[in-house]
């Protein structure tokens, strides 16, 4: 069965930083780590805005999010503390989906950077967009020096964005290299770019306790 992903990106500028960190590390992360089928957890920070946090959870399958164990701590059953955090912070992206590329690879440990790319595709160009992503874009960025793993996901819920790509990197600076630019700026990319909609792009570094 295909692996699943749960990704949350929030801007918590209106939450005291120490409270957000305490909530995440003493309640939110432990709750999810105890749910069977949650394989790992990562926390990232936007390199351009330290108030933006990204949490990534690899799942045995997307069905884990329908399990009784997850429903006991998620959705309508989140704690009063979680409700406060949700109310005070801004959701940028919540993505529940299934991994489509490459196979069943999981987030590599020790990554120094992460690129999050979520978007939709206009219906008239969606077929070409998907061929481009699968046949050119993911393979090309996978081959860029400093890319540790490139993966693609398709939403299984009502996320605003249907498609998500995650790139684990040696460092955030990989996306600024000439090799990255050459892999991105191709004729096929230019052809499908007008069909990209609702794009959210976040370049991240690992969260540190000193943040």
| pLDDT digits (tens), the chain, 211 positions | 689 999 999 999 999 999 999 999 999 999 999 999 999 999 999 999 999 999 999 999 999 999 999 999 999 999 999 999 999 999 999 999 999 998 889 999 999 999 999 999 999 999 999 999 999 999 999 999 999 999 999 998 767 899 999 999 999 999 999 999 999 999 999 999 999 999 999 999 999 876 6
Q: What is the DSSP letter of 154?
A: E
CA distances, 187 to each of 127, 191, 199 (Å): 17, 6, 20
pTM: 0.96
Burial class of 102 by CB neighbour count within 10 A (0 to 12, 13 to 18, 19+) = middle
CA dist 113 and 190 (Å) reads 26
For 135, the token pair is 């046949």
């Amino acid at each position: 069965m295909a692996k699943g992903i749960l990704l949350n990106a929030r801007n918590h500028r209106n939450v005291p930083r120490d409270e957000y960190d305490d909530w995440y590390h003493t309640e939110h992360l432990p709750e999810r780590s105890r749910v069977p089928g949650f394989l790992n957890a990562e926390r990232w920070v936007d390199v351009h805005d330290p108030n933006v946090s990204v949490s990534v959870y690899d799942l045995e399958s997307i069905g884990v999010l329908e399990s009784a164990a997850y429903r006991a701590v998620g959705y309508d059953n989140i704690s009063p503390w979680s409700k406060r955090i949700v109310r005070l912070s801004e959701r940028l992206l919540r993505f529940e989906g299934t991994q489509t590329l490459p196979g069943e690879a999981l987030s590599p440990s020790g990554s120094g950077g992460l690129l999050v790319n979520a978007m939709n595709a206009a219906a008239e160009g969606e077929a070409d967009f998907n061929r481009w992503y699968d046949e050119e874009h993911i393979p090309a960025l996978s081959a860029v020096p400093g890319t540790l793993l490139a993966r693609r996901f398709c939403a299984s819920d009502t996320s605003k964005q249907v498609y998500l790509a995650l790139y684990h990197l040696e460092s955030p600076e990989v996306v600024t290299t000439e090799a990255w630019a050459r892999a991105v700026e191709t004729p096929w990319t230019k052809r499908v770019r007008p069909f990209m909609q609702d794009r959210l792009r976040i370049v991240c570094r690992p969260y540190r306790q000193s943040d």
